[in-house]
Amino acid sequence: MALLKKGDKAPSFQLMDQNGTEVSLKNFKGKKLLVYFYPKADTSGCTKQACSVRDAMPDLKSVGVAAIGISPDKPEKQRKFDEKYSLGFPLLSDEDNSVAKGYGAWGEKKMYGKAYEGIIRSAFLIDEKGKVIEAWYKVSPADTVPNARRTLGDASPA
């Protein structure tokens, strides 16, 4: 599976969010978009990542950037995650991992010496025309927002 890189066209998607609303890449035409993939709602790393995006939303919005999180969780679980942490941005359900695969965010992982398939925590900054500005694979939950800020030209701390 090819990894996305700067200048690639972002794969389109159409998924349900935590409120049962269909969300597609087309909804963000004319805006920059931070898309991040996470393994499982309400786990420690995923919570840290989601809350850092939530906390950065005022700054991101001020420079025309929207954000969405994508995981294999069902919309109901995404809704509980959103409500528990007052995230306030779309969390999309990719139950069959088709969107994650298209973004190169699904693949082999290892834990305790065993290989398995799963979400590779990844983040993508997409421009107003749907092209990848930057892609980060195997990103740390703490680095998603700082990486985006650096790419956008804002080196302020997270």
* Per-residue three-class SS string for the chain: CCCCCCCCECCCCEEEECCCCEEEHHHHCCCEEEEEECCCCCCHHHHHHHHHHHHHHHHHHHCCEEEEEEECCCHHHHHHHHHHHCCCCCEEECCCCHHHHHCCCEEEEEECCEEEEEECCEEEEECCCCEEEEEEECCCHHHHHHHHHHHHCCCCCC
What is the per-residue pLDDT across 40-99, written as a single tens digit (0 to 9) for each? 999 999 999 999 999 999 999 999 999 999 999 999 999 999 999 999 999 999 999 999
Name 24's bridge partners: 14
Residue 31 has pLDDT above 50, yes or no: yes
pTM above 0.85, yes or no: yes
Beta-sheet pairing, 65-71 with 91-93:
parallel
* 46 is known as an active-site residue: yes
pLDDT of residue 154: 54
Enumerate the domain spans of the chain: 14-152
What is the per-residue pLDDT across 97-107, written as a single tens digit (0 to 9) for each? 999 999 999 99
14-152 topology per CATH: Glutaredoxin (3.40.30)
**What integer is the mean pLDDT of 101-116?**
90
- Annotated catalytic residue: which of 46, 50, 92, 145? 46
**What integer is the mean pLDDT of 100-117?**
90
